[in-house]
Amino acid sequence: MFASIVLVGLGMSFLSASVFAPDLVDKVTGDVKVSVLKQFHQIFAPDELPTIRLGGEGGMVELDHCDGTFTEMVSYRIDDVLPLFAAHNNCGGDVILGWDLGQRVMVEGSDVVYEVVEERHTPKWSNVEALVGMTGEFMVQTCFYGENRMRFLSLAPVGPAGSVD
């Protein structure tokens, strides 16, 4: 009986928080999700590099398909800006929220190992010019949970899989 009362109380607390502070709840639950997924990867696949899937090119419509791929954003194609692939945080893009500079990753369908070589944060809907000069081969992007910020990571090839330590 006591456990039921506690669970109902917790549920009501979470419901109240999500009504009165939805961004905070989104941030906290998103941060927990990213941490848990990172820990699961370290426990169950410690020798495997994280892998992302790059999808086709497009805009917000293609991005909103939420198919687990990073869409190449045609609106970001300007001189001096690397090709940009984006995914919503709740559609698989949050995998990059757990990465640090130096993180090595794979792209599905490629045998090349990439490394995170640069990072930038911008407010949502910032001008693409904020990304001019980033180094690497391409960028991946997602939004932080519960914040008005986007995370951009540039990736550079370090060699074929199996030859990189």
* pLDDT attached to residue 23: 80
**Stretch 130-146: mean pLDDT, rounded?**
97
**Stretch 88-114: mean pLDDT, rounded?**
96
Distance of CA 21 to the CA centre of its chain: 23
Distance, CA of 136 to CA of 65 (rounded, Å): 27
Nearest to 34 by CA among 122, 119, 99, 118: 99
The hierarchical CATH code for the domain 22-160 is 2.40.260
Q: With a cut of 90, say whether residue 7 has pLDDT above it.
A: no
pLDDT in tens, 51-98: 999 999 999 999 999 999 999 999 999 999 999 999 999 999 999 999
Enter the pTM of the model.
Answer: 0.84
Domain ranges across the chain: 22-160
**Stretch 4-14: mean pLDDT, rounded?**
70
